Structure 1
Protein backbone atom coordinates (compact mmCIF):
# COMPACT_ATOMS: atom_id res chain seq x y z
CA UNK A 1 0.00 0.00 0.00
CA UNK A 2 1.36 3.38 -0.93
CA UNK A 3 1.58 6.21 1.60
CA UNK A 4 -1.03 8.11 -0.41
CA UNK A 5 -3.50 5.20 -0.15
CA UNK A 6 -2.83 4.92 3.58
CA UNK A 7 -3.60 8.62 4.05
CA UNK A 8 -6.81 8.27 2.04
CA UNK A 9 -7.92 5.28 4.13
CA UNK A 10 -7.19 7.20 7.30
CA UNK A 11 -9.28 10.13 6.06
CA UNK A 12 -12.14 7.68 5.45
CA UNK A 13 -11.64 6.35 8.99
CA UNK A 14 -11.96 9.91 10.31
CA UNK A 15 -15.22 10.34 8.41
CA UNK A 16 -16.50 7.09 9.96
CA UNK A 17 -15.53 8.27 13.44
CA UNK A 18 -17.20 11.61 12.70
CA UNK A 19 -20.37 9.81 11.63
CA UNK A 20 -20.46 7.94 14.95
CA UNK A 21 -19.98 11.15 16.93
CA UNK A 22 -22.54 12.99 14.78
CA UNK A 23 -25.21 10.32 15.27
CA UNK A 24 -24.63 10.28 19.02
CA UNK A 25 -24.73 14.07 19.20
CA UNK A 26 -27.82 14.25 16.96
CA UNK A 27 -29.60 11.69 19.15
CA UNK A 28 -28.65 13.62 22.26
CA UNK A 29 -30.07 16.89 20.93
CA UNK A 30 -33.07 15.58 19.00
CA UNK A 31 -34.37 13.02 21.48
CA UNK A 32 -33.15 14.81 24.61
CA UNK A 33 -31.19 11.75 25.74
CA UNK A 34 -28.22 12.94 27.71
CA UNK A 35 -25.25 10.57 27.67
CA UNK A 36 -24.37 8.77 30.89
CA UNK A 37 -20.79 8.81 32.23
CA UNK A 38 -19.94 5.52 30.46
CA UNK A 39 -21.40 6.93 27.24
CA UNK A 40 -19.19 9.99 27.62
CA UNK A 41 -16.14 7.76 28.13
CA UNK A 42 -17.02 5.90 24.94
CA UNK A 43 -17.09 9.22 23.09
CA UNK A 44 -13.67 10.01 24.52
CA UNK A 45 -12.45 6.64 23.22
CA UNK A 46 -13.80 7.49 19.75
CA UNK A 47 -11.92 10.78 19.90
CA UNK A 48 -8.77 8.88 20.95
CA UNK A 49 -9.41 6.53 18.02
CA UNK A 50 -9.11 9.55 15.72
CA UNK A 51 -5.61 10.44 16.92
CA UNK A 52 -3.87 7.74 14.86
CA UNK A 53 -5.51 8.71 11.56
CA UNK A 54 -4.89 12.40 12.22
CA UNK A 55 -1.20 11.69 12.81
CA UNK A 56 -1.07 9.61 9.64
CA UNK A 57 -2.60 12.43 7.61
CA UNK A 58 -0.22 14.96 9.14
CA UNK A 59 3.02 12.96 9.24
CA UNK A 60 2.49 10.02 6.88
CA UNK A 61 1.82 6.35 7.66
CA UNK A 62 3.54 4.68 10.59
CA UNK A 63 2.93 1.52 12.60
CA UNK A 64 3.06 3.73 15.70
CA UNK A 65 -0.12 5.47 14.55
CA UNK A 66 -1.84 2.11 14.15
CA UNK A 67 -0.63 1.21 17.64
CA UNK A 68 -2.48 4.25 18.98
CA UNK A 69 -5.60 3.07 17.16
CA UNK A 70 -5.26 -0.36 18.78
CA UNK A 71 -4.89 1.14 22.26
CA UNK A 72 -7.90 3.45 21.80
CA UNK A 73 -10.02 0.64 20.33
CA UNK A 74 -9.20 -1.73 23.20
CA UNK A 75 -10.02 1.02 25.71
CA UNK A 76 -13.32 1.75 23.96
CA UNK A 77 -14.20 -1.94 23.70
CA UNK A 78 -13.59 -2.39 27.43
CA UNK A 79 -15.75 0.61 28.32
CA UNK A 80 -18.59 -0.35 25.99
CA UNK A 81 -18.51 -4.01 27.04
CA UNK A 82 -18.73 -2.85 30.67
CA UNK A 83 -21.94 -1.04 29.83
CA UNK A 84 -23.28 -4.04 27.89
CA UNK A 85 -22.60 -6.24 30.92
CA UNK A 86 -24.42 -3.78 33.20
CA UNK A 87 -27.60 -4.30 31.16
CA UNK A 88 -27.31 -7.97 30.18
CA UNK A 89 -29.85 -9.42 32.60
CA UNK A 90 -33.21 -10.49 31.16
CA UNK A 91 -35.83 -7.80 31.60
CA UNK A 92 -33.29 -4.97 31.87
CA UNK A 93 -34.39 -2.28 29.40
CA UNK A 94 -30.86 -0.93 28.98
CA UNK A 95 -29.85 2.71 28.97
CA UNK A 96 -31.35 5.00 26.38
CA UNK A 97 -33.17 4.13 23.22
CA UNK A 98 -32.04 1.79 20.46
CA UNK A 99 -30.88 2.24 16.90
CA UNK A 100 -31.72 -0.66 14.58
CA UNK A 101 -32.46 -2.83 17.61
CA UNK A 102 -29.21 -2.25 19.50
CA UNK A 103 -28.32 0.28 22.17
CA UNK A 104 -25.61 2.77 21.33
CA UNK A 105 -23.12 1.09 23.67
CA UNK A 106 -23.62 -2.18 21.78
CA UNK A 107 -22.98 -0.38 18.50
CA UNK A 108 -19.92 1.22 20.08
CA UNK A 109 -18.54 -2.22 20.96
CA UNK A 110 -19.07 -3.35 17.35
CA UNK A 111 -17.32 -0.21 16.07
CA UNK A 112 -14.34 -0.63 18.41
CA UNK A 113 -14.04 -4.31 17.46
CA UNK A 114 -14.13 -3.27 13.80
CA UNK A 115 -11.38 -0.72 14.40
CA UNK A 116 -9.25 -3.39 16.07
CA UNK A 117 -9.73 -5.74 13.13
CA UNK A 118 -8.98 -2.98 10.61
CA UNK A 119 -5.79 -1.98 12.44
CA UNK A 120 -4.74 -5.63 12.67
CA UNK A 121 -5.31 -6.18 8.95
CA UNK A 122 -3.31 -3.06 8.15
CA UNK A 123 -0.42 -4.17 10.36
CA UNK A 124 -0.35 -7.74 9.04
CA UNK A 125 -1.09 -7.37 5.33
CA UNK A 126 0.20 -3.86 4.62
CA UNK A 127 3.29 -3.47 6.79
CA UNK A 128 4.48 0.09 7.24
CA UNK A 129 7.86 1.38 8.22
CA UNK A 130 8.13 4.43 10.43
CA UNK A 131 9.78 7.45 8.87
CA UNK A 132 9.71 6.37 5.21
CA UNK A 133 10.37 9.89 4.00
CA UNK A 134 8.13 12.91 3.90
CA UNK A 135 4.36 12.50 4.20
CA UNK A 136 2.32 12.55 1.00
CA UNK A 137 0.56 15.72 -0.02
CA UNK A 138 -2.92 16.04 1.42
CA UNK A 139 -5.93 17.64 -0.14
CA UNK A 140 -9.27 19.07 0.83
CA UNK A 141 -10.80 15.68 1.68
CA UNK A 142 -8.11 14.91 4.25
CA UNK A 143 -8.09 18.39 5.77
CA UNK A 144 -11.90 18.45 5.97
CA UNK A 145 -11.87 15.09 7.79
CA UNK A 146 -9.44 16.41 10.40
CA UNK A 147 -11.36 19.66 10.91
CA UNK A 148 -14.68 17.82 11.11
CA UNK A 149 -13.38 15.61 13.92
CA UNK A 150 -11.88 18.59 15.71
CA UNK A 151 -15.16 20.51 15.45
CA UNK A 152 -17.12 17.57 16.81
CA UNK A 153 -14.66 17.24 19.69
CA UNK A 154 -15.20 20.91 20.55
CA UNK A 155 -19.01 20.57 20.37
CA UNK A 156 -18.95 17.44 22.53
CA UNK A 157 -16.67 19.10 25.08
CA UNK A 158 -19.03 22.08 25.29
CA UNK A 159 -21.99 19.73 25.64
CA UNK A 160 -20.28 17.84 28.49
CA UNK A 161 -19.58 21.13 30.23
CA UNK A 162 -23.27 22.05 29.97
CA UNK A 163 -24.35 18.59 31.11
CA UNK A 164 -21.98 18.10 34.03
CA UNK A 165 -20.93 21.59 34.96
CA UNK A 166 -17.73 21.70 36.98
CA UNK A 167 -18.43 18.58 39.03
CA UNK A 168 -18.84 14.86 38.46
CA UNK A 169 -21.42 13.92 35.87
CA UNK A 170 -24.65 12.47 37.27
CA UNK A 171 -25.08 8.69 36.87
CA UNK A 172 -28.47 9.15 35.18
CA UNK A 173 -28.50 12.65 33.71
CA UNK A 174 -31.88 14.24 33.04
CA UNK A 175 -30.93 17.88 32.52
CA UNK A 176 -28.02 20.11 31.63
CA UNK A 177 -26.57 21.19 34.96
CA UNK A 178 -25.40 24.60 33.74
CA UNK A 179 -28.70 25.36 32.01
CA UNK A 180 -31.28 24.28 34.55
CA UNK A 181 -29.74 22.55 37.51
Structure 2
Protein backbone atom coordinates (compact mmCIF):
# COMPACT_ATOMS: atom_id res chain seq x y z
CA UNK A 1 0.00 0.00 0.00
CA UNK A 2 1.55 3.28 -1.09
CA UNK A 3 1.69 6.31 1.23
CA UNK A 4 -0.70 8.17 -1.10
CA UNK A 5 -3.26 5.33 -1.04
CA UNK A 6 -2.98 5.16 2.77
CA UNK A 7 -3.51 8.92 2.94
CA UNK A 8 -6.66 8.65 0.83
CA UNK A 9 -7.95 5.80 3.02
CA UNK A 10 -7.33 7.96 6.09
CA UNK A 11 -9.16 10.86 4.44
CA UNK A 12 -12.14 8.61 3.71
CA UNK A 13 -12.05 7.44 7.33
CA UNK A 14 -12.12 11.03 8.55
CA UNK A 15 -15.03 11.81 6.24
CA UNK A 16 -16.93 8.77 7.58
CA UNK A 17 -16.40 9.97 11.15
CA UNK A 18 -17.55 13.44 10.07
CA UNK A 19 -20.71 11.91 8.62
CA UNK A 20 -21.47 10.26 11.98
CA UNK A 21 -20.98 13.58 13.79
CA UNK A 22 -23.11 15.48 11.25
CA UNK A 23 -25.93 12.94 11.68
CA UNK A 24 -25.67 13.34 15.45
CA UNK A 25 -25.98 17.11 15.04
CA UNK A 26 -28.99 16.64 12.76
CA UNK A 27 -30.79 14.68 15.46
CA UNK A 28 -29.73 17.23 18.07
CA UNK A 29 -30.58 20.43 16.22
CA UNK A 30 -33.40 19.44 13.86
CA UNK A 31 -35.19 16.74 15.84
CA UNK A 32 -34.22 18.26 19.22
CA UNK A 33 -32.86 15.02 20.68
CA UNK A 34 -30.25 16.36 23.05
CA UNK A 35 -27.31 14.00 23.59
CA UNK A 36 -27.02 12.39 27.02
CA UNK A 37 -23.69 12.49 28.90
CA UNK A 38 -22.68 9.06 27.55
CA UNK A 39 -23.60 10.21 24.04
CA UNK A 40 -21.33 13.22 24.48
CA UNK A 41 -18.49 10.92 25.52
CA UNK A 42 -19.05 8.81 22.41
CA UNK A 43 -18.78 11.98 20.34
CA UNK A 44 -15.46 12.69 22.07
CA UNK A 45 -14.33 9.24 20.96
CA UNK A 46 -15.33 9.93 17.36
CA UNK A 47 -13.59 13.32 17.35
CA UNK A 48 -10.43 11.71 18.78
CA UNK A 49 -10.55 8.98 16.10
CA UNK A 50 -10.84 11.73 13.48
CA UNK A 51 -7.96 13.60 15.10
CA UNK A 52 -5.69 10.54 14.91
CA UNK A 53 -6.56 9.97 11.27
CA UNK A 54 -6.17 13.71 10.65
CA UNK A 55 -2.61 13.57 11.99
CA UNK A 56 -1.90 10.99 9.28
CA UNK A 57 -3.22 13.49 6.75
CA UNK A 58 -1.22 16.35 8.17
CA UNK A 59 2.17 14.75 8.87
CA UNK A 60 2.16 11.54 6.85
CA UNK A 61 1.09 8.09 7.95
CA UNK A 62 2.63 6.99 11.24
CA UNK A 63 1.93 4.02 13.50
CA UNK A 64 1.66 6.33 16.53
CA UNK A 65 -1.27 8.13 14.88
CA UNK A 66 -3.01 4.80 14.42
CA UNK A 67 -2.32 4.25 18.12
CA UNK A 68 -4.33 7.37 18.91
CA UNK A 69 -7.14 6.04 16.72
CA UNK A 70 -7.11 2.69 18.53
CA UNK A 71 -7.12 4.23 22.02
CA UNK A 72 -9.96 6.58 21.02
CA UNK A 73 -11.98 3.74 19.47
CA UNK A 74 -11.46 1.52 22.53
CA UNK A 75 -12.65 4.40 24.72
CA UNK A 76 -15.65 4.95 22.45
CA UNK A 77 -16.67 1.30 22.29
CA UNK A 78 -16.36 1.05 26.07
CA UNK A 79 -18.75 3.96 26.55
CA UNK A 80 -21.11 2.53 23.91
CA UNK A 81 -21.16 -0.89 25.56
CA UNK A 82 -21.82 0.77 28.93
CA UNK A 83 -24.84 2.55 27.49
CA UNK A 84 -26.09 -0.56 25.69
CA UNK A 85 -25.90 -2.51 28.95
CA UNK A 86 -27.82 0.23 30.79
CA UNK A 87 -30.72 -0.16 28.36
CA UNK A 88 -30.60 -3.87 27.56
CA UNK A 89 -32.77 -4.98 30.46
CA UNK A 90 -36.46 -5.00 29.50
CA UNK A 91 -38.37 -2.14 31.07
CA UNK A 92 -35.35 0.14 31.51
CA UNK A 93 -36.30 2.22 28.50
CA UNK A 94 -33.95 3.60 25.92
CA UNK A 95 -32.46 6.89 24.91
CA UNK A 96 -33.27 8.57 21.61
CA UNK A 97 -35.18 7.40 18.59
CA UNK A 98 -34.02 4.24 16.82
CA UNK A 99 -32.39 4.46 13.40
CA UNK A 100 -32.95 1.36 11.25
CA UNK A 101 -34.05 -0.48 14.38
CA UNK A 102 -31.00 0.33 16.51
CA UNK A 103 -30.28 3.28 18.79
CA UNK A 104 -27.34 5.61 18.23
CA UNK A 105 -25.31 4.10 21.05
CA UNK A 106 -25.62 0.67 19.43
CA UNK A 107 -24.61 2.08 16.05
CA UNK A 108 -21.71 3.85 17.76
CA UNK A 109 -20.55 0.54 19.25
CA UNK A 110 -20.68 -1.07 15.81
CA UNK A 111 -18.82 1.89 14.26
CA UNK A 112 -16.09 1.83 16.91
CA UNK A 113 -15.70 -1.92 16.40
CA UNK A 114 -15.29 -1.37 12.66
CA UNK A 115 -12.77 1.42 13.33
CA UNK A 116 -10.71 -0.93 15.51
CA UNK A 117 -10.82 -3.62 12.82
CA UNK A 118 -9.98 -1.17 10.02
CA UNK A 119 -7.09 0.32 11.96
CA UNK A 120 -5.68 -3.14 12.68
CA UNK A 121 -5.81 -3.91 8.94
CA UNK A 122 -4.12 -0.60 8.07
CA UNK A 123 -1.30 -1.30 10.55
CA UNK A 124 -0.36 -4.44 8.58
CA UNK A 125 0.78 -2.53 5.49
CA UNK A 126 4.33 -1.31 6.14
CA UNK A 127 4.99 0.49 2.84
CA UNK A 128 2.71 3.31 3.93
CA UNK A 129 5.41 4.28 6.48
CA UNK A 130 8.17 4.52 3.84
CA UNK A 131 9.79 7.89 4.58
CA UNK A 132 11.52 8.01 1.18
CA UNK A 133 8.16 7.74 -0.56
CA UNK A 134 6.46 10.17 1.83
CA UNK A 135 5.44 13.56 0.49
CA UNK A 136 7.81 16.52 0.64
CA UNK A 137 7.48 18.82 3.65
CA UNK A 138 5.90 21.54 1.52
CA UNK A 139 3.13 19.14 0.50
CA UNK A 140 2.54 17.56 3.90
CA UNK A 141 -0.69 19.34 4.63
CA UNK A 142 -2.99 16.82 3.09
CA UNK A 143 -1.48 16.49 -0.35
CA UNK A 144 -4.93 16.47 -1.96
CA UNK A 145 -8.15 18.42 -1.81
CA UNK A 146 -9.87 15.40 -0.28
CA UNK A 147 -7.36 15.21 2.56
CA UNK A 148 -7.45 18.97 3.18
CA UNK A 149 -11.25 19.01 3.21
CA UNK A 150 -11.41 16.03 5.58
CA UNK A 151 -8.89 17.55 7.99
CA UNK A 152 -10.60 20.95 8.12
CA UNK A 153 -14.01 19.31 8.51
CA UNK A 154 -12.99 17.14 11.49
CA UNK A 155 -11.41 20.16 13.19
CA UNK A 156 -14.59 22.18 12.65
CA UNK A 157 -16.82 19.40 13.96
CA UNK A 158 -14.57 18.95 17.00
CA UNK A 159 -14.93 22.63 17.86
CA UNK A 160 -18.68 22.50 17.19
CA UNK A 161 -19.07 19.50 19.50
CA UNK A 162 -17.13 21.23 22.27
CA UNK A 163 -19.33 24.31 21.91
CA UNK A 164 -22.49 22.23 21.83
CA UNK A 165 -21.49 20.36 24.99
CA UNK A 166 -20.75 23.65 26.74
CA UNK A 167 -24.15 25.05 25.77
CA UNK A 168 -25.92 21.89 26.91
CA UNK A 169 -24.04 21.28 30.15
CA UNK A 170 -22.53 24.58 31.07
CA UNK A 171 -19.26 24.44 33.01
CA UNK A 172 -20.68 21.81 35.40
CA UNK A 173 -22.07 18.31 35.23
CA UNK A 174 -24.47 17.45 32.41
CA UNK A 175 -28.09 16.63 33.20
CA UNK A 176 -29.15 13.04 32.60
CA UNK A 177 -31.42 13.05 30.70
CA UNK A 178 -30.88 16.51 29.27
CA UNK A 179 -33.98 18.63 28.80
CA UNK A 180 -32.56 21.90 27.50
CA UNK A 181 -29.42 23.92 26.96
CA UNK A 182 -28.50 24.64 30.57
CA UNK A 183 -25.82 27.25 29.80
CA UNK A 184 -28.17 29.23 27.55
CA UNK A 185 -30.84 29.14 30.26
CA UNK A 186 -28.34 30.51 32.80
CA UNK A 187 -27.36 33.30 30.43
CA UNK A 188 -31.03 34.11 29.86
CA UNK A 189 -31.69 34.21 33.61
CA UNK A 190 -28.69 36.47 34.15
CA UNK A 191 -29.96 38.81 31.43
CA UNK A 192 -33.40 39.07 33.07
CA UNK A 193 -32.02 40.17 36.44
Do the two structures share a fold, i.e. TM-score over 0.5? yes
Structure 1 residue aligned with 2:153, among 135, 138, 148?
Answer: 148
Deviations 1:112-164 (A, max 9, x none): 0000000111123x125757247434121111101111111111111111111
Alpha carbons 2:41, 2:79 under 8 Å: kept? yes
1:177 maps to what in 2? 182
1:31 alignment partner in structure 2: 31
Distance 1:122-1:155 versus aligned 2 partners, 3 A rule: same
Structure 1: which 5+ residue stretches go unaligned?
Answer: none
Matched with 1:83 is 83
Give the Cα–Cα distance (whole angstroms) in 2 for the partners of residues 109 and 128 of structure 1.
Answer: 30
Q: Secondary structure at the match of 1:42?
A: helix
Query: What is the TM-score with the length of structure 1 in the denominator?
Result: 0.94
* Structure 1 residue runs of 4 or more that deviate by more than 6 Å after TM superposition: none
In 1, distance between residues paired with 2:47 and 2:132? 27
Q: State the Cα RMSD in Å.
A: 1.5
Structure whose CA Rg is larger: 2
Corresponding position of 2:131: 132
What is the alpha-carbon distance in structure 2 between the residues aligned to residue 118 and residue 72 of structure 1?
A: 13
TM-score in terms of structure 2 length: 0.88
- The aligned residue for residue 60 of structure 1 is 60
Query: Following the alignment from structure 2 to structure 1, what is the Cα–Cα distance between the partners of residues 171 and 106?
Result: 29
- How far the C-alpha of 1:53 sits from its partner, in A, is 1.1
Aligned partners of 1:76 and 1:112 also within 8 Å: yes
Does the CA-based 8 Å contact 1:80-1:109 persist in structure 2? Answer: yes
Q: How does 1:114-133 map to 2 (within 5 A)?
A: 114-124=114-124, 126-127=125-126, 132-133=131-132
Residues 9-18 or 132-141, more deviating: 132-141
Rounded to whole Å, the distance in 2 between the matches of 1:61 and 1:43 is: 24
- Matching residue of 2:97: 97
